[in-house]
């Protein structure tokens, strides 16, 4: 045996004995730690050791404890701890003793000693430090670029990470956070892609060990630090205000940690794509980006863009599996019967021509590879179609919900941290000058009890200005026929409901003079007092069993009035001036509106609770709100945008959409498995052709290009078919409609909203998955040696 071929001997009795002893030591250590009640510290240390820099951090911690002024506290049960440690080390010593190298062979060198080494092995290096630097430094640089860009573009100034306070430095883009995040993600992904390309070009191979070490040691610390920042108060105090724009965007999903790790996965994916592209481009020793020959060979191999295949797959996506398959088998069966009859008739006259015709008929039959190609295209198409339809329907629900919420509530609210806003008129004059603010109205809000003759309910009462409320909310448009928002200012125009229900005779009799029982002279009936108006929701009106003109009583448990029997809750009578319907059960059953002046008198408020704002771009509401606060001089004023006020609801919707997208992407992953099988079958079928190409001088990178192009063609064809069929189904649902019970769902039909970005993202995901699935078969094809493929010929 040659020394380079030395093998390892395993002594299994020692291995099993060492494993049992180590297990006993672990049990003793567990008992000692339980007695010391130190599991929290131990678990934290073990968890830290799982990460790349964990060992180094633990070493620094151990040195600090050893050199620090405060000695380490005594551990309960030191004998048990020492015994467990010794037994643990003894077990691993036995395991090490059971693994030995086999003795070296005494044979001399082989006859081929000193010959020229195979070129591929001669150029091989087991590790490239420069490639490690490119991969690790690239992923770290991409993360830092993303953090810096997100902060700078969102805050409108230099980042505090660079030593300048945001918003005070002047300049900057001041983009909406989502747009700033999109730009930062594209730039960060570009940096990761470029670093992967450079590293793979330098090594002329994929260099998986370098990529793994670089990602784990240099890529993981930042997402781990950001995740810990949400749980460790000291980190939050040290970094939270510097990275507030980053944490805001991550918090849009409801779980900031999820956002950090999704972005990290996207950067790693960009790095992998760069590595693969760099290997393909420079795998032959020189940069070669030409694709003409490889695309020609790939197109002839798989023939994905055949009209029959595309039309068949599209028919399956549009009409289901069963009807197209029935029609297909009927047509193929009829064609086969006609062709056999023709060949039989031809054989009676010319047997040789009949044999040639039968051979041509067999050539037209689909091979197993072609069938798997069709299944792969259909699988990718189904995944893309399902992803587009489901995400479009969920976007429709989100848009409908957002429209109703923002139709009832403002885009932003300006108030004080504590207390009222008596100077709201002056504040409104200042806010009017802020670019992007298109409407504003003052309000007073509180919680009260509302009672009618039929029922009692707890509601949120809101004092509004009828002149300006329409510039911020859709309340004037939501008033049902029979009511009028203007009656809040002119309550005398509100007709009592009984005046509309009584007939003319009852109206005349009520207007006749009555004889006073004391003085015996006729007198006119006393006029009823004019009650202030109130606007209630449709569901609340149904619950209270009131209509326009009915009287209701509003009771405030917060304020009290003195009476002969002592303090009592403040109460006031109102008359229903109108009923509104927003389409949201929570608003229609819990909101009531009165005149701002009536609310000031009722709650004894000087001024207003706050000012509601409407902005030109709802996605830019957060930046405009911050600009309003700066114009007002900061504290004690504050502004909250609609995303912050409804954070939990919209975060849940976004998280649900994300989870549904991930689940439906599994369909594409299943189709990717078919692509792997299809390309592997192509490799097995074309071993001879691959060997001929390599013998003619085609490099490994060229072979990889061919088979990647084949998988990519399947992904592109399936993605385009899924895109077309998905958009067609969405338009069908939108135009024809799937009816829903409006009493249950508050919408008459299933809403659909086609968003270009997420629709394009569904196709991109399908193409990326198919591309990644083709990498392994392509590498296997490039490893075929010409001698192995041609020696059987």
pLDDT digits (tens, 9 = 90+) for 221-277: 889 888 888 777 887 888 877 888 888 888 777 778 888 888 999 999 999 999 888
Tell me the pLDDT tens digit for each residue of 741-760. Answer: 666 666 777 888 888 888 89
Instruction: Write down the pLDDT at residue 403.
Output: 81
**pLDDT tens readout for residues 48-102:** 666 666 666 666 665 555 555 544 444 445 677 788 888 988 998 999 888 887 7
- The yes-or-no verdict on residue 528 having pLDDT over 70 is no
* Residue with the two structure tokens 């047509």: 331
The mean per-residue pLDDT over the stretch 348-359 comes to 74
Count CA atoms closer than 13 A to 744's CA, side-chain side.
5
* pLDDT over 70 (residue 293): no
Contacts of residues 730-734 at CB distance under 8 Å and 24 or more positions apart, as own/partner, are: 730/388, 730/389, 730/392, 730/754, 733/389, 733/393
- Cα(740)–Cα(749) distance, rounded to whole angstroms? 5
Determine the pLDDT at residue 651. Answer: 76
**Interstrand relation of 412-416 and 637-641 (parallel, antiparallel or unpaired):** antiparallel
Tokens (6 digits) for 273: 């794509």
What pLDDT is stored for residue 159 in this prediction? 40
Mean pLDDT score of the chain = 79
641 phi/psi in degrees, rounded to 5: -90, 170
Distance, CA of 735 to CA of 728 (rounded, Å): 10
**Residue 157 structure tokens:** 């100034």
Sequence-distant (≥ 6) Cβ neighbours of residue 139 within 8 angstroms? 192, 195, 214, 215, 218, 219, 267, 268, 271
Q: For residue 578, give the 3-state DSSP assignment.
A: strand
pLDDT on residue 75: 46
Q: What is the mean pLDDT of residues 569-591?
A: 87
Question: How large is the average pLDDT for residues 203-219?
Answer: 85
Q: Which helix (H) or strand (E) holds 140?
A: helix 129-155
Q: Which long-range contacts (CB under 8 A, 24 or more apart) does 60-68 make?
A: none
Least confident of 125-139, 394-408, 433-447: 394-408
Summarize pLDDT for 299-339 with one digit per residue, the tens.
766 677 777 777 777 787 777 766 766 776 677 677 777 77
| Strand, helix or coil for residue 756 | helix
Confidence of residue 205 (pLDDT cuts 50, 70, 90): confident
Q: What is d(CA 532, CA 553) in angstroms, rounded to the nearest whole number?
A: 11
The pair of three-digit structure tokens given for residue 126, joined into one six-digit string = 């087991």
Residue 506 tokens, joined: 């009852």
Tens of pLDDT, residue by residue over 131-177, are 889 999 999 999 999 999 988 887 754 444 444 344 443 444 577 78
**What is the Cα gyration radius of the chain?**
38
């Amino acid at each position: 045996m040659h020394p380079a071929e030395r093998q390892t001997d395993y002594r299994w009795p020692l291995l099993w004995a060492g494993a049992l002893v180590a297990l006993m030591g672990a049990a003793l250590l567990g008992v000692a730690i339980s007695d010391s009640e130190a599991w929290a510290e131990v678990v934290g240390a073990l968890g830290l050791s799982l990460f790349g820099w964990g060992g180094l951090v633990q070493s620094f911690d151990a040195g600090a404890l050893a050199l620090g002024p405060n000695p380490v506290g005594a551990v309960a049960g030191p004998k048990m701890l020492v015994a467990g440690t010794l037994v643990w080390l003894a077990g691993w010593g036995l395991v090490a003793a059971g693994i030995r190298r086999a003795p070296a062979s005494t044979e001399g060198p082989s006859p081929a000693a000193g010959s020229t080494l195979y070129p591929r092995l001669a150029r091989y290096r087991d590790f490239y430090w420069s490639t490690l630097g490119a991969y690790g430094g690239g992923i770290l640089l991409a993360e830092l670029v993303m953090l810096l860009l997100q902060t700078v573009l969102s805050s409108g100034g230099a980042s505090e990470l660079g030593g300048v306070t945001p918003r005070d430095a002047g300049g900057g883009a001041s983009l909406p956070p989502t747009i700033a995040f999109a730009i930062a993600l594209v730039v960060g992904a570009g940096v990761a892609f470029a670093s992967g390309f450079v590293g793979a070009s330098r090594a002329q191979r994929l260099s998986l060990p370098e990529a793994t070490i670089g990602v784990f040691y240099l890529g993981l610390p930042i997402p781990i630090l950001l995740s810990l920042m949400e749980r460790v108060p000291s980190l939050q105090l040290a970094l939270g205000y510097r990275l507030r724009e980053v944490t805001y965007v991550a918090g849009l999903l409801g779980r900031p940690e999820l956002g950090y790790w999704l972005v990290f996965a996207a950067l790693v994916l960009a790095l992998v794509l760069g590595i693969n592209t760099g290997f393909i481009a420079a795998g032959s020793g020189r940069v070669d980006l030409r694709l003409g020959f490889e695309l020609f060979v790939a197109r002839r191999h798989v023939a994905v863009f055949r009209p029959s295949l595309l039309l068949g797959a599209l028919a399956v996506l549009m009409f289901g599996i069963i009807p197209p398959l029935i029609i297909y088998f009927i047509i193929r069966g009829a064609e086969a019967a006609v062709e056999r009859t023709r060949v039989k008739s031809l054989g009676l006259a010319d047997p040789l021509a009949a044999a040639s015709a039968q051979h041509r008929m067999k050539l037209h039959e689909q091979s197993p590879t072609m069938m798997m190609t069709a299944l792969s295209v259909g699988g990718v198409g189904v995944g893309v179609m399902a992803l587009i339809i489901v995400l479009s329907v969920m976007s429709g629900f989100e848009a409908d919900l957002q429209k109703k919420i923002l139709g009832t509530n403002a885009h932003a609210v300006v108030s004080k941290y504590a207390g009222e806003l008596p100077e709201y008129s002056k504040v409104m004059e200042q806010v009017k000058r802020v670019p992007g603010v298109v409407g504003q109205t003052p309000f007073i809000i509180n919680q009260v009890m509302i009672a009618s003759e039929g029922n009692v309910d707890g509601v949120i009462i809101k004092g509004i200005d009828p002149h300006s409320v329409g510039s911020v909310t859709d309340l004037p448009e939501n008033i049902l026929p029979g009511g009028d928002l203007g009656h809040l200012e002119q309550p005398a125009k509100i007709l009592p409901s009984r005046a509309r229900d009584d007939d003319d005779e009852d109206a005349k009799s009520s207007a006749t003079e009555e004889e006073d029982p004391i003085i015996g002279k006729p007198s006119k009936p006393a006029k009823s007092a004019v009650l202030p108006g109130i606007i209630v929701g449709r569901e609340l009106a149904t619950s209270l069993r009131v209509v326009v003109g009915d009287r209701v009583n509003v009771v405030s448990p917060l304020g009290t009035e003195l009476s002969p029997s002592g303090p009592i809750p403040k109460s006031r009578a109102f008359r229903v001036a109108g009923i509104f319907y927003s389409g949201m059960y929570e608003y229609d059953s819990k909101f009531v509106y009165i005149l701002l002046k009536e609310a000031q008198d009722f709650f004894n408020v000087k001024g207003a609770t706050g000012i509601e704002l409407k902005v030109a771009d709802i996605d830019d509401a957060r930046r405009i709100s911050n600009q309003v606060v700066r114009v007002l001089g900061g504290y004690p004023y504050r502004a909250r945008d609609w995303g912050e006020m409804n954070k939990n609801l919209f975060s849940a919707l976004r998280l649900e959409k994300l989870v549904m997208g991930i689940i439906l992407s599994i369909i594409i992953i299943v189709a990717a498995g078919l692509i792997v099988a299809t390309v592997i079958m192509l490799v097995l079928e074309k071993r001879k052709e691959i060997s001929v190409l390599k013998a003619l001088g085609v490099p490994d990178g060229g072979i990889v290009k061919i088979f990647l192009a084949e998988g990519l063609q399947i992904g592109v064809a399936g993605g385009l078919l899924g895109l077309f069929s998905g958009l067609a189904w969405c338009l069908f649902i939108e135009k024809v409609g799937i009816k829903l019970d409006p009493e249950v769902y508050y919408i008459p039909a299933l809403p659909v909203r086609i968003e270009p970005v997420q629709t394009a993202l569904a196709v991109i995901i399908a193409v990326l998955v198919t591309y990644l699935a083709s990498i392994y078969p392509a590498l296997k094809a490039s490893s075929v040696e010409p001698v192995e493929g041609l020696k059987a010929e």
